Each structure stands twice: as structure tokens, then as C-alpha cells.
Amino acid sequence: MPKLTRPHARFHASFLATLAEFRAAGPLSDWAARIDHEAVRAPSGFSAYIDSLHARRTPDSVAAEGPVPESSLFWSEGDEFLGRIAIRHRLNSRLEVMGGHIGYVIRPGAQGRGHATALLLAAMPVAYALGVDDALLTTDPDNHASRRVIEKCGGRLVDQKPGHCYYRLRTGPGA
Ligand SMILES: CC(C)(COP(=O)(O)OP(=O)(O)OC[C@H]1O[C@@H](n2cnc3c(N)ncnc32)[C@H](O)[C@@H]1OP(=O)(O)O)[C@@H](O)C(=O)NCCC(=O)NCCS
């Protein structure tokens, strides 16, 4: 059964397969586009990438508009990477417009099987424990799969602007 996992170097092979799936699927998702596909090909490059994910929990900068603390978790089965979720511990003005507290992605080869819904449901208690009890989630209005995932997890549409839908999701027990 898939579960939330700490990012780890043991996912290297399936992570590279995931990036190949994204390249084959067409325009890269925002998440895949931010990764240096060449750099993570070598085990040392992938380890550095994993370390950078862990380091984001405690960014050096405390500037109001600098990076916010972010916890990344993988969704995996055995050594198979299926997707990832990032929980930002707080918002800055950029994330208030786009990105919100929580972002997720499921690899193309595993989409349409309920993974994103299960991933978000599993991550809600983690977000709550991090102090994110009323999470902001933003999505493109045309991203119907993501909107459906958020709504199935209990998210309420609270605002809509050109190019952006804003949802609020209570993450606590009984939410
Ligand atoms: C959005 C994303 C995470 C969904 O992952 P997934 O594992 O396929 O999602 P699930 O299988 O849990 O659920 C998808 C739901 O959307 C529905 N859906 C999918 N495509 C849809 C469409 N075009 N219109 C309406 N509903 C759609 C599915 O039917 C399903 O709902 P159902 O269970 O009621 O049938 C995945 O497509 C992805 O990683 N996309 C790229 C990154 C991204 O957009 N991330 C979200 C940023 S806000």
C-alpha cells in the first residue's frame, strides 16, 4: 500500500523514470520543470537534491518574502516513487497568490488511480501537526483533476480570479 515517506536516495531509479514520464507526456508540470534533470541523473546529484529538500524545512533566510519553511514528503510503494507533496509551514505574499500551503504531483504513469486524493488525505494530519490547520490550496481553474482532488478531501472554494482558484482545507481531526 502506498504511504508517505521521507525523501531518500533509494528512490533514485524510479525518480528518474518519473522525470522521463513527464518529458514524454508533453509540457513539463511546474514541479518537473524546476528540477535539473541532468544534475539528478548521477547518484551524487540526486543525493544533493534530496538534501536540498530536507534543508528547506529550515531555510537560512528569515526575510519576510524569502523562502518559507517547507516539508516535502514522497508518496511511495516500496522503492517506487509515485508522487510528492510539499507543505509550506506559512505563506508569503507570493504563495498567497499562487502556490498556497500545499502542492502535490503524481507521476504521469500513476495518475487517475486515486493516488493524489489518498496522498492529500494522508498529508492533512502532517500539515495540522505543523500548525497548518486552515490550509490554502491554489490551482488553475482548468486543472479539473486537482480541483476534484481538493474537493474530495473537503476543500471549499473561497475565491476565484483569472487563472487562479483558491480553496481552504481544514486539516485537523474531524475536519
Ligand atoms: C492533479 C493530479 C495531482 C491528480 O492526480 P491523480 O492521482 O490522477 O488524482 P486522483 O486519481 O486522486 O483523482 C483525480 C480526480 O479528478 C478527476 N479528473 C481527472 N481528470 C479530470 C477532468 N479532466 N475533469 C474532471 N475531473 C477529472 C478524476 O476522475 C478523479 O475524480 P474521481 O475520483 O471522482 O473520479 C495529477 O494530475 C498531477 O500530478 N498533475 C500535474 C501536477 C498538478 O497539476 N498538481 C496540482 C497543482 S495544484
Task: Tell me how far CA of residue 89 lies from CA of 5, 71, 105, 111, 138, in angstroms.
Answer: 18, 8, 18, 27, 15
Could you report the per-residue pLDDT of 106-156, keeping only the tens digit for each? 999 999 999 999 999 999 999 999 999 999 999 999 999 999 999 999 999
- What does pTM read for this prediction? 0.96
Name the residue of 146, 152, 165, 167 whose CB sits within 8 Å of the most ligand 1 atoms, as the mutation to test its pocket: 146
Name the residue of 31, 148, 151, 169 whose CB sits within 8 Å of the most ligand 1 atoms, as the mutation to test its pocket: 148
Q: What are phi and psi of 148, to 5 degrees?
A: -65, -40
Ligand 1 center from residue 154 Cα (angstroms): 15
Asked whether 141 and 165 are in contact (CB, 8 A), the reply is yes
Query: By alpha-carbon position, which residue is closest to atom 40 of ligand 1?
Result: 105
Q: CB within 6 Å of ligand 1 — which residues?
A: 29, 103-106, 111-117, 139, 143-146, 148-149
Could you report the per-residue pLDDT of 148-170, keeping only the tens digit for each? 999 999 999 999 999 999 999 99
Q: How far apart are CA 161 and CA 147, in angstroms?
A: 14
pLDDT band for position 63 (cuts 50, 70, 90): low
Atom in ligand 1 nearest the alpha carbon of residue 118: 12
Query: By alpha-carbon position, which residue is closest to atom 25 of ligand 1?
Result: 144
Element (H or E) spanning 96, and its range? Answer: helix 93-97
pLDDT band for position 61 (cuts 50, 70, 90): low
Atom in ligand 1 nearest the alpha carbon of residue 105: 39
- Cell numbers at residue 156, please? 471549499
Could you report the per-residue pLDDT of 17-48, keeping only the tens digit for each? 999 999 999 899 999 999 999 999 999 999 99
Q: For residue 7, how many C-alpha atoms fall within 13 Å in the half-sphere facing its CB?
A: 21
Ligand 1 center from residue 115 Cα (angstroms): 9
In this prediction, what percent of the chain has a pLDDT beyond 70?
97
**3-170: which CATH number, 3.30.470.10, 3.40.630.30, 1.20.120.10, 3.30.70.20?**
3.40.630.30
